[in-house]
């Protein structure tokens, strides 16, 4: 089974966010402030350190924790994509639908097909999006969920995110600095709900479910024209 995202667990995400707001906090103080036993906290901190999410520095008898700012070229490309509002919305929609055609994106984001096609090409060039075939009504891909049921419609092209769980980590890490923070937080909570029991290996593509999620969200946060 594919390695789960480093910040999948809410406890680890809470620890990460607390350290991001209290840079340099030491183990004992973090345990006291978050009311987490030292043994359990040390386990989560060690895990996050191994995943290069946190840095630890020795300061006398204390171990102080910091957010790791060392990111690779892949992460830089993704963060640059996050800066474009339309591209960010495209990425977020993939976390609802998992796979999309140009038509899907154009319809739900209310963008002209030419605009969507322009961004799709740039995302493929940045190596964060890929076109994938449908065979016998099933899409097979490397990242989980690895099997998605979708009927072939004419010659439409279907796209998926290449490394969705890396993007998920980066959304969590950088959500405070992204446009449309409410939308980002909503998608994070939605993904948390769906993967609470583990990332599914197979899903059924259901347009009615996708529409209900988008419609419910729009009623709370977006102008009516966004998703009508």
Check whether residue 89 and residue 197 sit in a common domain: yes
List b or e across 198-214, with b for residues whose CB sees 16 or more CB atoms inside 10 angstroms: ebeeebebeeeebeeeb
pLDDT of res. 118 = 95
Check whether residue 62 and residue 80 sit in a common domain: no
Residues of the chain below pLDDT 50: 1-4, 199-200, 203, 206, 208-209, 212-213, 216-217, 219-228
- Token look-up 């998992």 returns 98
Structural contact between residues 87 and 52, judged by C-beta atoms closer than 8 angstroms: no
**Residue 55's domain is classified under what CATH number?**
1.10.10.10
4 falls within a domain: no
Domain boundary among 21, 37, 67: 67
Task: Label residue 192 exposed, middle or buried (CB < 10 Å: 0-12, 13-18, 19+).
Answer: middle
pLDDT of res. 206 = 47
pLDDT tens, residue by residue, 40-69: 999 999 999 888 888 888 777 888 888 876
100 falls within a domain: yes
Q: Kindly state the helix (H) or strand (E) to which residue 67 belongs, with its residue range.
A: strand 62-67
pTM of the model: 0.60
pLDDT of res. 143 = 63
């Amino acid at each position: 089974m594919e390695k789960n995202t480093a910040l999948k667990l809410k406890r680890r995400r809470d620890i990460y966010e607390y350290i991001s707001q209290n840079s340099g906090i030491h183990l004992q103080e973090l345990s006291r402030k978050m009311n987490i036993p030292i043994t359990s906290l040390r386990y989560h901190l060690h895990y996050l350190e191994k995943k290069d999410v946190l840095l630890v520095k020795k300061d006398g008898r204390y171990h102080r924790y910091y957010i790791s700012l060392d990111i690779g070229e892949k992460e830089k490309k993704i963060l640059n994509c996050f800066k474009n509002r339309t591209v960010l919305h495209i990425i977020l929609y993939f976390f609802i639908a998992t796979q999309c055609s140009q038509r899907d994106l154009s319809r739900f984001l209310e963008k002209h097909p030419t605009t969507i096609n322009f961004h799709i090409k740039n995302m493929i060039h940045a190596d964060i999006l890929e076109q994938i075939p449908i065979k016998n009504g099933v899409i097979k891909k490397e990242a989980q969920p690895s099997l998605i049921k979708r009927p072939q419609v004419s010659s439409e092209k279907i796209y998926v995110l290449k490394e969705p769980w890396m993007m998920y980590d980066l959304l969590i890490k950088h959500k405070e600095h992204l446009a449309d923070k409410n939308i980002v937080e909503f998608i994070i909570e939605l993904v948390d709900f769906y993967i609470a029991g583990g990332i599914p290996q197979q899903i059924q593509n259901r347009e009615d479910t996708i529409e209900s999620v988008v419609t419910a969200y729009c009623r709370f946060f977006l102008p009516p024209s966004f998703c009508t």
